[in-house]
Chain A
């Protein structure tokens, strides 16, 4: 188990990581997600031992490793730039950590290459600089696995790869995590990676962890407007008034055609109502229990669904509904038409500022 307590990093007067607490169970695939400059790389570097925290502690399996040097830590970092040793072959790169640990090499290089789905016969004796981006990424991963760490740290190693390759490698990473039972900590600014692979998400903003939970929890129940917007694919409405009613709040907005009550879980008063694109629909009549009048500005086909983009005349807001293509045909709504953007009120998410 990895446990960070009150971990803090300052650069001069700038606080990059602000007293962060973190607990990750053995075998978990944890993702630290946040926009660039939120302190996530600094946090990861402190876990790896490449940077000393200003204060706070890092414990691995109950042992304080806060000031242990990276070469003596059971962690291994897969760098964003992969950092393969340019003067070595693939094999030499992978043997490097084994020789450092004094482990028998044997057939491990071949095994590891197969594990990251590279053909050892073709690639093992290539120079590291001869590989393509995706291959370098795989070799970097194999090299870190060769170190046999308790915790594998990944600093956005997929960021510079193209979409298709990224998708495939994400799935492979998730499989590998399951197969090896090793703890993975992945840092990214891209939500799609975070959602697809992780057991547990930490959302980082300006050096603070602002929400922790499973991807599902965070996707369905963001705790702030920032997270809701960061998670993307959601319409955000600002509320005029919200009155507590039993389990939830009765929300009012001059935009909405109706008033309704929505469940709510946080301490601060709700300020915004969030609804996901795919929970929204469009129609010429108001049939759901919450909705507003809009003008359809654009219709984009995205595979089996269409994205209906619309303007709300009241608020200059731009909103989107994502609905199955057949369902959209049935509505008879076309670009330029006035219509209702609407949804099941229980799908609404209320968030504080």
Chain B
């Protein structure tokens, strides 16, 4: 009897070790983000956990600062069009790739998804040179186009995964039942992939909202939140920086969790 309980205890311990390990990895991944949040509420010069002095001051300062506000406005001027356009471009490409047969289909996928794997510094640099050669210049519009190159393929990837899960005969069934092309899209195809499109759009926004590399090469004199933070990190640190960075993080976490809950509910419905 004693050996029985020992084995079973060992088994439970075994599963505990796995949980513990994954929790450690999760802790590692959250360390800088937690540090950021802790620092953003800390009112003092030398950081201390023992006598932690709490303040909302840096957030207030962040929200009232003119330069931060204009950086925030610029970020939104970029992120919102990027979200809308990349969702359209990515979804269209995903539908074409997953629901139609056309010449060079696999090559199209390879080409369209390739930018996802590029180090952003390479994309940013190339675009920066190219932009000056074709007189596109630097600013909000070039930043939007630049981010689209990286984000539209990601949307395509996300939507493709949803679209591939749909019965391949659904279009034929709809056409059999008398649906024309517009009806097919409006009533059948788009509703079925809507979950993927919504998560794709949320990812697009969050990725654009957090983009640094591409914007830093293309935004020219306009500063966005991420380039503002980078500038202050490398030269002229103020305690407002953690507060601004935390604010960006809060928005991201909210949207990503929202997207996950959406996915989860959709999966539950099935």
Seen from chain A, the residues whose Cβ lies within 8 Å of a Cβ on chain B are 52, 66-67
Contact = CB atoms under 8 A, between A and B. Distances in A.
Interface residues of B, number: 5
Contacts of B11: 52
A52 B7 CA distance: 10
A69 to B, nearest CB: 9
Nearest to A66: B4
A66 B4 CA distance: 8
Contacts of A52: 8, 11
Q: Interface majority SS on A: helix, strand, loop or mixed?
A: loop
B31 interface: no
Interface of B: 3-4, 7-8, 11
A262 B4 CA distance: 51
Contacts of B7: 67
B15 to A, nearest CB: 12
Nearest to B6: A67
A67 B11 CA distance: 10
A52 B4 CA distance: 10
Contacts of B8: 52, 67
A55 to B, nearest CB: 10
A52 B6 CA distance: 13
Nearest to A64: B4
Contacts of A66: 4
A174 B205 CA distance: 63
Nearest to B10: A67
B11 to A, nearest CB: 7
Contacts of B4: 66-67
Pairs of residues from A and B, 6 with the lowest C-beta to C-beta distance, nearest first: A67-B7, A67-B4, A52-B8, A67-B8, A66-B4, A52-B11
7 contacts: A52-B8, A52-B11, A66-B4, A67-B3, A67-B4, A67-B7, A67-B8
Nearest to A52: B8
A66 B6 CA distance: 13
B50 to A, nearest CB: 44
A77 to B, nearest CB: 19
A135 to B, nearest CB: 27
A147 B3 CA distance: 27
A50 to B, nearest CB: 12
A11 to B, nearest CB: 16
B163 to A, nearest CB: 26
A52 B5 CA distance: 12
B215 to A, nearest CB: 44
B2 to A, nearest CB: 12
Contacts of A67: 3-4, 7-8
